[in-house]
């Protein structure tokens, strides 16, 4: 699947896509096309995509066999156009189109090119590695427009999201901590420096909270650190930390069978972090980034932590384990400390499928966002509007801190069942300290249960475009 631009009609295409403006006019002044559009059912009044097999029609010297009309989305935002072009991709796929030409109306907005390109590629995504079927060719799209940097960038982001989806959708017997590390090493081809640390080095780094989670598994943990130095003269560095639990059984606080199914996706934050740094490197953004993934499994064995254990984090703080299924915050806490102390991060963002509480509160559309710094959050908010990844800021009031204070240690790793997303975020904020920090909880948005718009069943990669946009807005002028 690819996106390209051209100022001339290509010699060959099988699907013509016409942009429909708000007033119902088309990007092509052709009475025949207009009559076909008017003959469609009243569904068009609801701004739905309409398509048909056609015969005997041509544009210039090229005949085509599929005609698709795509009205403007109700929401003219990045979110709206990305979703609309995801639906468009699925519509063309249902017609078995392979080469499409999109002709925009003169009023097609400039800000729509990037989400349109991104949405078209994401809408075609499928994870069918293990179905035993021959791989189908995806549809390529040509936008009839001048060379368009926005469309190119949308394609770049979509490619990174698709890769993050692939990594997350792999079963846990394939996507082990070591396998994730090997995938990270491939970033070196983009000019990213990647270091992978094994058990002994993690011990030397005093990442005992991370190791406490990892010790129940027969698969050794890996600390993955990827550095992109796009602004070598700057002392600023954004650390992107992704939760990397390659499978989460819940440990001795075991999940139900229904809750455990799908826990191969608990490393999606790490896949997104690695994808974001890959996209930034490919775009040659003028910023210094570090992606960190503390990769392990949360399993049950004679070596596993149990409720009542006390572990010491890298920061020195002792943590009482009251729930072994609140493991992600333990690995993230040590990774945040590592980013601050070893990498000199001046800003920190972590992204994690962290709490069911966030999914319960916000559903499957909004990312739960937390920050200790209003200025940093303003940049994130602007980036959200540009990327189409919707965020909602949740509070970090001190009153909640009592809920994770322990009677026998400095903290406990879980508090009240009420306000769980807030409590988890505040816990992580303890390790960021005064460094500007953002926490993104994607427990609700990280997985789709249906094929719709830009989504297919499985991992969504939601948040990668947001982090890329944030990196772009933070880059040196």
Last residue of a domain, one of 121, 147, 173: 147
Helix, coil or strand: residue 261: coil
Q: Are residues 272 and 185 in the same domain?
A: yes
Total number of domains in the chain: 2
More confident position, 36 or 195 = 195
Q: Find the angle CA(222)-CA(470)-CA(413) to the nearest 5 degrees.
A: 45
Same domain, 181 and 91: no
107-132 pLDDT, tens per residue?
999 999 999 999 999 999 999 999 88
Residues 214 and 110 in one domain: no
Q: Please check whether residues 214 and 123 belong to one and the same domain.
A: no
The residues pairing with 297 across neighbouring beta strands, listed in sequence order, are 247
Residue pair 250/259 in contact (Cβ under 8 Å)? The answer is yes
pLDDT-wise least confident of 145-149, 306-310, 380-384, 402-406: 145-149
Using the 3D structure, point to which of 127, 147, 167 is the last residue of a domain: 147
Residue 277 resides in a domain: yes
pLDDT at 309: 98
For 1-17, the pLDDT digits (tens) are 789 999 898 888 999 99
Question: Do the bridges between strand 347-352 and strand 238-242 make them parallel or antiparallel, or are there none, so unpaired?
Answer: parallel
- Establish if 393 belongs to a structural domain: yes
What local confidence, expressed as pLDDT, does residue 43 receive? Answer: 52
187 and 136, same structural domain?
no
Co-location of 165 and 142 in the same domain: no
Residue 381 has pLDDT above 60, yes or no: yes
Residue that finishes a domain, picked among 93, 113, 147: 147
Within this chain, do residues 318 and 346 fall inside the same structural domain, yes or no? yes
Residue 376 inside a domain? The answer is yes
Indicate whether 111 and 192 sit together in one domain: no
- Percent with pLDDT over 70 in the chain: 98
- In a domain, residue 182? The reply is yes
Residue 477 in this model has a pLDDT that exceeds 70: no
Give the residue-averaged pLDDT of 50-59.
84
Task: List the beta bridge partners of residue 4.
Answer: 142
What is the pLDDT, as a whole number, of residue 34? 81
Residue 98 sits in which domain range? 3-147
Environment class of residue 58 by beta-carbon count within 10 Å: exposed (0-12), middle (13-18) or buried (19+)? exposed
Q: What is the pLDDT of residues 170-183, one digit of tens each?
A: 999 999 999 999 99
Q: Residue 133's pLDDT is what? A: 78
Pair (331, 431) in one structural domain: yes
Of the candidates 242, 156, 201, 211, the one whose C-alpha atom is nearest the C-alpha of residue 469 is 156
Is residue 413 predicted with pLDDT exceeding 60?
yes
- The answer on 99 and 12 residing in a single domain is yes
Q: Give the integer Cα–Cα distance in Å for 400 and 101.
A: 54
Question: What CATH number is associated with residue 251?
Answer: 3.40.630.10
Catalytic residues: 255, 329
| Residue 152 domain flag | no
b/e map 419-436, b = 16+ CB within 10 Å: bbbbbbbbbbbbbbeebb
* pLDDT given for residue 266 in this prediction: 98
The answer as to whether 448 is a domain residue is yes
Of 149, 460, 446, 468, give the one whose Cα is nearest residue 277: 468
- pLDDT of the residue at 269: 98
The CATH number that applies at residue 129 is 3.40.220.10
| Domain shared by 59 and 165, yes or no | no
Residue 137 sits in the same domain as residue 162: no
For the chain, give the longest Cα–Cα distance.
80
Element of type H or E holding 427: helix 420-432
């Amino acid at each position: 699947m690819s996106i390209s631009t051209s100022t001339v009609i290509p010699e060959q295409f099988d699907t013509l896509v016409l942009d429909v403006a708000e007033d119902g006019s088309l990007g092509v002044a052709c009475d025949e096309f207009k009559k076909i559009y008017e003959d469609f059912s009243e569904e068009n009044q609801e701004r739905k995509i309409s398509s048909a097999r056609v015969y005997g029609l041509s544009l210039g010297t090229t005949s085509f066999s599929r005609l698709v009309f795509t009205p403007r989305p109700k929401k003219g935002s990045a979110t709206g156009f990305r979703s609309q072009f995801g639906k468009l991709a699925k519509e063309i796929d249902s017609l078995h189109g392979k080469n499409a030409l999109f002709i925009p109306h003169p009023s097609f907005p400039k800000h729509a090119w990037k989400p349109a390109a991104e949405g078209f590629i994401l809408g075609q995504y499928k994870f069918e590695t293990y179905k035993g079927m021959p791989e189908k060719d995806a549809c390529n799209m040509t936008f009839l427009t001048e060379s368009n940097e926005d469309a190119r960038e949308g394609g770049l982001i979509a490619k990174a999201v698709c890769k993050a989806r692939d990594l997350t959708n792999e079963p846990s017997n394939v996507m082990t901590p070591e396998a994730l590390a090997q995938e990270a090493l491939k970033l070196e081809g983009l000019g990213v420096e990647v270091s992978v640390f094994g058990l002994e080095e993690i011990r030397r780094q005093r990442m005992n909270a991370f190791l406490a989670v990892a010790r129940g598994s027969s698969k050794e943990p890996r600390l993955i650190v990827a550095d992109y130095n796009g602004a070598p003269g700057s002392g600023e560095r954004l650390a992107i930390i992704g939760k990397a639990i390659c499978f989460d059984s819940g440990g001795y606080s075991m999940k139900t069978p229904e809750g455990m199914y799908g826990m191969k996706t608990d490393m999606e934050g790490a896949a997104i972090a690695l994808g974001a740094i890959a996209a930034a490197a490919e775009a040659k953004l003028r910023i210094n980034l570090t992606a960190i993934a503390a990769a392990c499994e949360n399993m049950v064995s004679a070596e596993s932590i149990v409720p009542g254990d006390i572990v010491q984090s890298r920061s020195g703080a002792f943590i009482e384990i009251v729930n072994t299924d609140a493991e992600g915050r333990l690995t993230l806490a040590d990774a945040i400390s590592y980013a601050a102390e070893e990498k000199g991060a001046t800003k920190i963002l972590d992204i994690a499928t962290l709490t069911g509480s966030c999914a319960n509160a916000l559903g499957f559309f909004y990312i739960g966002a937390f920050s200790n710094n209003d200025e940093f959050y303003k940049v994130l908010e602007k980036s959200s509007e540009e990327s189409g990844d919707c965020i909602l800021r949740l509070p970090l009031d001190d009153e909640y801190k009592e809920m994770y204070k322990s009677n026998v240690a400095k903290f406990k790793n879980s508090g009240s069942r009420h306000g769980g997303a807030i409590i988890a975020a505040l816990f992580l904020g303890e390790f960021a300290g005064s460094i500007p920090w953002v926490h993104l909880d994607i427990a609700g948005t990280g997985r789709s249960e249906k094929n719709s718009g830009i989504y297919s069943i499985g991992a969504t990669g939601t948040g990668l475009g947001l982090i890329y946009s944030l990196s772009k807005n933070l880059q040196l002028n």
